[in-house]
Amino acid sequence: MISNKMQEAFNDQIAAELYSANLYLAMSAYLESIDLPGFGHWMRIQYQEEVSHAMKMFDYVIERDGRALVKAYDAPPADWKSALDVFEGALSHEQKVTGLINNLMDIALAEKDHASNIFLQWFVNEQVEEEATAKGVVQQLKMLGDSKAGMFQIDRELGQRVFTPPPTDN
């Protein structure tokens, strides 16, 4: 059985993951509006990933005889200055999420909740990948500067991304 403190922390994180999903969907809409469909597609895949992260936690809370809640969260921003601004925002957001996941891990350790500790290790590793991926796109965008050909190429590459659901085993 999951402790009340751990359950509350997971429910807060579920809301944070759903906010992340909506942030990436808003980013996708912006990128599509500036004629970068590949970038927009990449963010739609990111949206799917974040929803799957929320559901993985939602299911985990239920599996531990807890009560998963759907909490309200703020609307994400709708406008950015550029594709670079979007990805810098995504990187900053992923860094924030890493802090939230680390906090969840700290609570699991303090509660001596070994099952949650093991469950959260997947998310710790996922955040390393999330930050590295966003940072990589930021670096590419900075390198190409004002190159329209470079932007076209990156847009094509990002449009090839495929959603891979996370493993369902805890």
Q: In this predicted model, what pLDDT tens digit does every residue of 122-158 receive, in sequence order?
A: 999 999 999 999 999 999 999 998 899 999 999 999 9
pLDDT of residue 169: 64
Q: Classify residue 76 by its DSSP letter.
A: P
DSSP reduced 3-state for 70: coil
- Answer whether residue 170 shows pLDDT above 70: no
Round to whole Å and give the CA distance between 111 and 9. Answer: 12
Digit-coded pLDDT (tens) for 7-28:
999 999 999 999 999 999 999 9
Q: Say what the pLDDT of residue 123 is.
A: 97
Fold of 4-71+78-158: Ferritin (1.20.1260)
- For 52-106, the pLDDT digits (tens) are 999 999 999 999 999 999 999 999 999 999 999 999 999 999 999 999 999 999 9
How is the chain split into domains, by residue range? 4-71+78-158
d(CA 56, CA 170): 9
Q: How confident is the model at residue 167 (pLDDT cuts 50, 70, 90)?
A: confident
Decide: residue 69, CB within 10 A, 0-12 exposed, 13-18 middle, 19+ buried: middle
